[in-house]
Amino acid sequence: MADFPIKTMADYAAAGETPEILFWVGCAGSYDSRAQKVTLAVAKILHTVGIRFAILGNEESCTGDPARRAGNEFLFQMTALQNIETLKMYHVQKIVTACPHCFNTLKNEYPALGGTYEVIHHTQLLQKLIDEGRIKLKEGGTFKGKRITYHDSCYLGRVNGIYEAPRAVLAELDSDLVEMKRARSNGLCCGAGGSQMWKEDEPGQKRINMERAEEALATKADIIAVNCPFCLTMMSDGVKAKDKQEEVMVYDLSELIVNNL
Amino acid sequence: MIQQIAFCIVSIFALGFAGWQFINIRRNILLGQSEKLELNAAQSWRNVLLVAFGQQKMFKNWIPAVFHFFIYAAFVITQIELIEIFLDGFTGIHRFFAPMLGGFYTFVISFIEILSLLAFVATVIFLIRRNILKINRFEKPEMHGWPQRDANIILMLEIVLLIGIFSMNGADTLLQSIDSQHYPDTGKLAVSSWLGPAFFGGMSEGALHLTERFGWWLHILTVFAFLNYLPISKHLHILLAFPNTYFARQKPRGEMDNMPEIMNEVKAMMGLAEPTDTTELPEFGANDVFSLSWKNLLDAYSCTECGRCTAACPANLTGKKLSPRKIMMDIRDRAEEAGQNLRKGKDEFKKDPALPLTKDNYQDGKSLFDYISREELHACTTCNACVEACPVLINPLEPILKMRRYEILTESAGPAEWMPLFNSIENGGSAWAMSVDRDAWARE
């Protein structure tokens, strides 16, 4: 639970006000217990720097990404058009989200359905806040000198070309950033995209998340940093399966920042 | 004179037959649906220049990129010499350009020779990579049999081509000092000025003359063979890479094509639009080449089966059946099959016997699903690694997603595990069925 009030768009509307930005939480961010911590971290950062943000609460629906990539266009259109109506009602123009799948769908796919917004991923916002000096990290923070490896999510990295903002944020932590062999545009998927999150892997020799977790562990990093709730689950599962969960932590970027504010 | 006549006859047949084959390929590509590509011409030309001409994406992997560049550069620059071979062939003049260009001729031919020598080295290295080192991406199941043989045939043809060039030029340099009347001075050529004496030194004038003619004919006949072999080979990329990069999609990578017919139906359901007349039960997605777009088919014909996509595919490299390269190969095979059947024009392929056989009235009891299994389609994580990897901007992800759409929307099939996902989105607006408020995390 947050130790500060988190207002919804409806709260703002009732008070006759408009927030600066909508924080799109997403399904994982709302319901997955691990991803909820990321949601709280993002909310805390927004609150701390004094950005007036709102969430949609129960008025938010799945963006439709998993339905669309599974092939269920009908369901995608239903949930997407519903969301676009909601966003229109609140005159939403700016959206920040901690999920690269929501980010991609809102940014790249909603325009064709009639919903055009300025959409940013939380790692971009973090970089901007750091650049503007609005986020000030503690001297000699918790992660100083720690080895961190960064896992590019497909939908932030390869699909939307955002490789540097998250790395710039990590550089602020005074930690030792080590790259995996497959990084940036060559980054390896965690295995969850394309609606794989909701099904078992097809028959094969190995799970994809194990392949990636092994690569991350090979860097001897203390922390695996991610930017996506699905990568968070997949990488955590992989680390656990290797029985390394005591030594190696998997964190979202926002959690690393919030711990050093 | 006999040689001129022979040359004319061979050229007409070779070019004519190749032309006919290329027309068929164009027809097969147009079996696909029309698609508005919304291209920015400047960006398209930039892609052609950087990605096709400049081979920008090859240089992600330096070793094959450099050797590939040797062969490519030799191929492009040899076209200059080919112009002269054609002129010589038709006119009966020996080395048409030599007297008029003088020193510049020496420079151009020497340049071609050096590149040809580098191409020879590269070709041998590529043969070693494929057959002795057995580089992993060349050893996948879809490469067994014909694809493997196809690759070797191409490399062997390249070697034959180079043997032709160097026999021709090598013998020529020796003949120039014996019979300068018929063999105009080419100047000192970079490679054959030492290769010629080394291989053919001490041969009689007659033997040299024969060697020169042998080289000349070997070269041009291999070129014709090559041209006619291209349409059935993966090597077609040397031509199609250019249009394929021009027509490559420019929309954001993360944007799946919208389906306006479904959007309008949903809008009508929500009271946001007038209902459209839907008396005909439409088919959604793609189950065959006819329901893919022509660009998807151009992609398939542009594929040279290098396997960079498959080597980067997370599903493939963890042992799943999916291989993006195989998807492209399957689409091309299916387009060939349907194209050939349509060309034969047999009545058995008519959907409605009363109508003429066209792509809209075609049925052979098969579909792309006979080539591509559900297991392959279901293994894709849509990570775009294959799209990123392709050196000629092929998009293997698009057909995969179109076939998923067919499976879910038209057949109401697909992985059973996705049913709860669909149900919870439809009923609860969430990817997981939850009984608590969506913002409980903020309040509890």
Q: What is the pLDDT along chain B (444 residues), one digit of tens a residue?
A: 889 999 999 999 999 999 999 999 999 999 999 998 999 999 999 999 999 999 999 999 999 999 999 999 999 998 889 999 999 999 999 999 999 998 999 999 999 999 999 999 999 999 999 999 999 999 999 999 999 999 999 999 999 999 999 999 999 999 999 988 899 999 999 999 999 999 999 999 999 999 999 999 999 999 999 999 999 999 999 999 999 999 999 999 999 999 999 999 999 999 988 887 766 667 899 999 999 999 999 999 999 999 999 999 999 999 999 999 999 999 999 999 999 999 998 889 999 999 999 999 999 999 999 999 999 999 999 999 999 999 999 999 999 999 999 999 999 999 999 999 999 999 999 999 998 999 999 987
Residue A243, CA distances (Å) to A238, B56, B224 in order? 9, 42, 62
Which residues in chain A touch residue B415, judged by CB atoms under 8 angstroms apart? 70, 199
Count of C-beta atoms within a 10 Å radius of residue A178: 16
Cross-sheet strand order for the sheet of A147-150: A176-178, A147-150, A223-226, A249-252
- What confidence score (pLDDT) does residue B281 get? 66
Q: Does A155 touch chain B (CB under 8 A)?
A: yes
- The partner residue sitting opposite B255, judged by closest CB among A39, A109, A188, is A109
| CB proximity A199 to B under 8 Å | yes
pLDDT score recorded for residue B63: 94
User: Which amino acid is located at A250 in the chain?
Assistant: V
Determine the distance from the C-alpha atom of residue B437 to the mean position of all C-alpha atoms in its chain, rounded to a whole number.
Answer: 53
CB distance from A101 to chain B under 8 Å?
A: no
Give yes or no for a contact between B428 and A27, defined as CB atoms under 8 angstroms apart.
no
Q: Are A170 and A244 in contact (CB under 8 A)?
A: no
B383 vs A58, A71, A189: nearest CB: A189
Q: How many helices (H) and strands (E) does chain A have?
A: 11, 8
What span, in angstroms and rounded, lies between the C-alpha atoms of B425 and B405? 17
Q: In A, residues 24-63, which contact B (CB 8 Å cutoff)?
A: 25, 27-32, 36, 39-40, 43, 55-58, 60-62
Q: What is the pLDDT of residue B180?
A: 84
The closest CB to that of B438, out of A58, A69, A75, belongs to A58
Identify the closest residue of chain A to B375 by CA–CA distance. A202
Contacts of A228 in chain B (CB under 8 A): none
pLDDT at A144: 83
First to last CA, chain B: 97
For residue B312, list chain A residues with Cβ-Cβ distance below 8 A.
186
Q: Which of B32, B1, B105, B40 is nearest to B292 (CA)?
A: B32
pLDDT score for B361? 93
| Contact: B429, A75; criterion CB under 8 Å | no
Of B252, B415, B438, the CB nearest to A60: B438
CB A67 within 8 A of CB B424: no
Judging contacts by C-beta atoms under 8 Å, the chain A residues touching residue B401 are: 69, 71
Contacts of B322 in chain A (CB under 8 A): 202
Q: What residues of A are in contact with residue B440 (Cβ under 8 Å)?
A: 30
Q: Is B439 on the interface with A (CB under 8 A)?
A: yes
B41 touches chain A (CB under 8 A): no
Minimal C-alpha gap between B315 and chain A (Å): 7
How close is the nearest chain A Cα to the Cα of B209, in Å?
Answer: 55
Q: Does A77 touch chain B (CB under 8 A)?
A: yes
Query: Model confidence at A158, in pLDDT bands (50, 70, 90)?
Result: very high
CB pair distance less than 8 Å for B263 and A55: no
Instruction: Mutate one of A190, A195, A199, A233 to test the B interface: name it (highest B CB count within 10 A).
Output: A195
Burial-class residue A253 by CB neighbours within 10 Å (0-12, 13-18, 19+).
buried
ipTM for the predicted complex: 0.96
Q: How confident is the model at residue A140 (pLDDT cuts 50, 70, 90)?
A: confident
Closest-CA distance of chain A to residue B129, Å: 23
Residue A90: band (very low, low, confident or very high) from pLDDT cuts 50, 70, 90: very high
Would an 8 Å CB–CB cutoff place A133 in contact with chain B?
Answer: no
For B265, nearest residue in chain A (alpha carbons): A74
Give the closest-approach CA distance of B88 to chain A in angstroms.
Answer: 50
